[in-house]
Chain A
């Protein structure tokens, strides 16, 4: 009867030996490769620090002007542009300018990295079914595994700081852009692709002349999702030493400062809404040709 009530598991001793073995192996790997890996990421760190310093050193009116300019260039809408400007002013007025700039820096760099890695991955998945069947489950894991779990090896490997934080953000934010690039390319009208083939287009001509342009609305939805997910990681990233709006939120949680938490939380929301509206309207503008006239 004991067999049915007690799950037949490994003994406590075996289990702890197994865990110790895994930990030991990884620790050894860390010791052997930690510095090398850190060196690989060093240029990234330099870039992130440089960008953050740039945002912090530039006078705030210029930053607001530049951001509003970018918002207008993307959305071509005065409503969104003015909304973005007002949000930034309010954030600054409530004393959150520096933290916001730090967050902006890490989000921008993370998004940039995700686009750099994600779009080629998505293109590869769309071209090879095998790549798709290998990468899809990895993306599933990246999206569902609790972030604290992968923070452990990242911190063991790289310690506390900006780069591990950036990696944690990227792991979480990368999947949507990969998925939506793949999907967008696969959804391109088969007949249009056949026509490109019939006129003798090469793979490259098809990819850049037909597939990517027609997948752009989907790719842009992916970029939008990536930004949103990166923003939602801000607080968790601050646990491993990333400066920004997450730090005061963390402090507010541990000390029960309601107002502090709320203000910084709302600043993150404001950033999210600005990014979302701008990238969405830009995505819509890209497919203006679809909305006119007949089908």
Chain B
């Protein structure tokens, strides 16, 4: 892959407590998170995070509560200042920005969707969707026009004059999404945006997001504690535990090669057929390619299984994006991959 790095995090630390700078020295000397808490009363929120996020991709950051994922996303627009480290967005050091530059970053380059929606309760749906635009200094009627467009895109036409309190959680979060999209920022930060919603509504919202992303190609940083959600949305997934990054990769990497038992536990319950792609299973061609049409190597197992089972000798050829046949998959390997 040759895509560009949009956001780059380098050796980021965040320590909560009275004297983070001093605690930072101890951490650099190699003090562990638990010892730091015992000896100094400081909490190591983020521990040496380095992560590159690709342009126009969905980067999922996954972890359980307390893993530091929400802290991490707030460093990208500096709602939280780090104790040490760098955050580079489009080649510019976010931590070096003065107040005005930072405000511009928040106004024009990044917008955010929150777990508990965080809509302005005293403003109507339309006025909420306009919020970022008005802050950008866009005139009211133009802002209204754009806000209506985005409300329409998230399926809220007809609700413009309602107050957030009159809407269900799912609809409120659509307002949150419209408000974030309306500012036309390249980067969308989503902090457990769908976690507060019912499972069906959550699926629905994930669908809306993927649909929009196909067209908008924003750089999305999506925080979640739900592996299913991470696998469905993420082009890349980073897993945090206790403030440290323990694995990064695409969904398939994480399911097939969990870095440790902690992640293996996570992935045990996952329906692998929906995650594993043929690319990971293919074996080199043994002489000539098997008979039949080649399947794309990006196809997930679930979709391919029936074809493989019906193929002559239970074996099918696999082609890459250019249509070149690169390998073959046997039914036995496919079935084995679902249980590994």
Contacts and interface: CB of A to CB of B under 8 A. Distances in A.
Contact of B132 (A197, A199, A294, A295): A199
Interface in A280-295: 289-290, 292-295
A214 interface: yes
Give the size range of B's interface with the partner: 20 to 34
B121 A289 contact: yes
Given A192-B120, A194-B79, A202 B103 contact: yes
Interface in A200-216: 200-202, 205, 209-210, 213-214
Nearest to B102: A200
A202 B121 CA distance: 19
B165 A199 contact: no
B167 A199 contact: no
Main secondary structure of the interface of A (DSSP, over half): helix
Contact of A192 (B119, B132, B183): B119
A289 B120 CA distance: 11
Contact of A295 (B107, B122, B136, B165): B165
Contacts of A205: 135
B168 interface: yes
Contacts of A293: 163, 165-167
A214 B121 contact: yes
Contacts of A289: 121-122, 163, 165
Interface in B149-184: 163, 165-169, 179, 183
Interface string B104-117: 11111011101010
Interface of A: 189, 191-192, 194-202, 205, 209-210, 213-214, 289-290, 292-295
Given A200-B103, A205-B135, A293-B166, 13 more contacts: A189-B121, A191-B118, A194-B118, A196-B120, A198-B106, A200-B105, A210-B120, A214-B120, A214-B121, A214-B122, A290-B121, A294-B166, A294-B169
Interface of B: 77, 79, 102-108, 110-112, 114, 116, 118-122, 131-132, 135-136, 163, 165-169, 179, 183, 189
